[in-house]
Amino acid sequence: MSAEIREGSAKAWGGRFASTPDKRLEAFNASVNFDVRFIREDLRGSVAHVRMLGRQGIIPVEDAKTIEDGLWLIWDEVEAETFRLTIADEDVHTGAERRLREIIGPVTGKLHTGRSRNDQVGNDFRLWTKDALLRMISGTLDLMDALLEVAGNYPDAIMPGYTHLQRAQPVLLAHHLLAYVEMLTRDVDRLKGALRRTDVLVLGSAAMAGATYPLDREFVARDLGFAAISRNSMDGVSDRDFVLDALSAGAILMMHISRLSEEIIFWSSGEAKFLSLSDAFSTGSSIMPQKKNADVAELARGKTGRVYGNLMGMLTVTKGTPLTYNKDFQEDKEGLFDTVDTCLIVLDVVPPMLTTATFKTDRMLEAAIADFSLATDVADHLARNGVPFREAHEVVGKLVGLCASRGISFSDLTDGEWADVHPLFAKQKPPLTALESVSARDVPGGTAPNRVHAAHAEAVKRAAEERVWLRHEQKRLANVMSRNSTGPEEAW
């Protein structure tokens, strides 16, 4: 669908003006190049509105039926990709009304009874955003499923956990991946919260003070599948919190993906060598033939910046706008469109990058106990046997320094050297394997294998339940946004 420059048509607001707009104003003022994205939402909202006008006797039923039939003809043109908007249309709402007038004539003018472009655009945008949020939730669940699949493929693989990007303690790879599942679970919750706050009908707010006609807003809400109606007309036309909600949830989601991407980049580096990415999700160098670059992860990390920018841009747009509608709000769409597009393309490519990667479990296990990663286990062993932890910490710290100065590890120490460190070690040595280390952390949320396996099963169940909810919501919205939709009850 496109917008093309055409000689000007009459403006919906032109009655007050003695001359036509300057071409530069027309181009500057137009939003038709981007708000065309919710042409279906605009048509569907108009269908619900005109049904209500006819049912309420605000306009003759015959006129309402004629208008609805004409709107569905435009819908068919949209589906056939023959519908065109122009710069002269100014926005998608005016363009749809212009085309409707071409099809059914002057009766078109009755469609706008009891409605303003202010509540019309807010409602269109909410309908579009509901679908966008559901698609983002679906993509987030895809990423969760990918992480759960990899965790299930490597249930007992051990790797080093890090703090300050220094090797800290051994953990299960599955435990590490499940940490991201937890983050994404919160992302789904945030997106669902944004959806709940978006799911509000604002039609009926009119320009800003409400309408003088006996509108049945509850009927329109049912027809369009909205869960509630706005409670204040001024807030209804000027609220853009739902846009900020979606932008914020998208920014936090991308932050989590960026963190995961950073790990993939590091794990696939020559320094770590923990995994090998599939050739299908890697790129090379134009000059260095040996290179295999994690460009998917790098680009996902980089795209996070533009999503942050969209959020900050919208916060800045709205911070100084008085009640009610202001032209500034025309800037609310492109940023959200870009954020949704960015999130969806990232969520499309990152999951298969993960599931096709090969983890080098031997290398990970070797690294898991390097650099004295078992030092905490040694200190805990002393503390469990009555040595105050601070004393144990100091003893083991000195042991690490001694080993580091000699260039040896704990496993290189003789029985006598262990006994010299602390008398307890003469009787019982501390855990000296990665498996002993992870198995000892048998607490809720810990990295012990039995805990991680149970957490994995629970996460799989939780993700499946979210899928059931998602399919229900997608079906509900698809029924609303259908050519055959007849409303909550017989419209006529």
Q: Which is it for strands 228-229 and 166-172: parallel, antiparallel or unpaired?
A: unpaired
Q: Is 175 among the catalytic positions?
A: no
Of 245, 250, 253, 249, nearest in space to 144 by CA:
253
Q: How far apart are CA 88 and CA 82, in angstroms?
A: 18
Q: Which two tokens stand for residue 374?
A: 């078992």
Cα dihedral 181/182/186/191 (nearest 10): 10
**Bond into 324 cis (ω within 30):** yes
Among residues 19, 164, 286, 405, the one annotated as catalytic is 164
Q: How far apart are CA 425 and CA 418, in angstroms?
A: 6
- 167's enclosing H/E stretch is strand 166-172
Contact at 8 Å (CB) between 372 and 409?
A: yes
Q: Which two tokens stand for residue 62?
A: 């015959």
Phi-psi region of 288 (alpha: psi -120 to 50; beta: other; left: phi over 0): beta
Q: Is 481 helix (H, G, I), strand (E, B) or coil?
A: coil
Q: How far apart are CA 93 and CA 117, in angstroms?
A: 7
Q: How far apart are CA 193 and CA 189, in angstroms?
A: 6
Among residues 285, 411, 472, 482, the one annotated as catalytic is 285
Q: How far apart are CA 86 and CA 117, in angstroms?
A: 18
Rg (CA), the chain: 30
Q: How far apart are CA 466 and CA 459, in angstroms?
A: 11
Of 173, 193, 186, 178, nearest in space to 140 by CA:
186
**Residue 484 phi, psi dihedral angles, 5° rounding:** -100, 5
Q: How far apart are CA 452 and CA 462, in angstroms?
A: 15
Phi-psi region of 222 (alpha: psi -120 to 50; beta: other; left: phi over 0): alpha
Q: Is 170 helix (H, G, I), strand (E, B) or coil?
A: strand
Q: Is 164 among the catalytic positions?
A: yes
Contacts for 24 with CB less than 8 Å, ≥ 6 apart: none
Catalytic residue numbers, as ranges: 164, 285
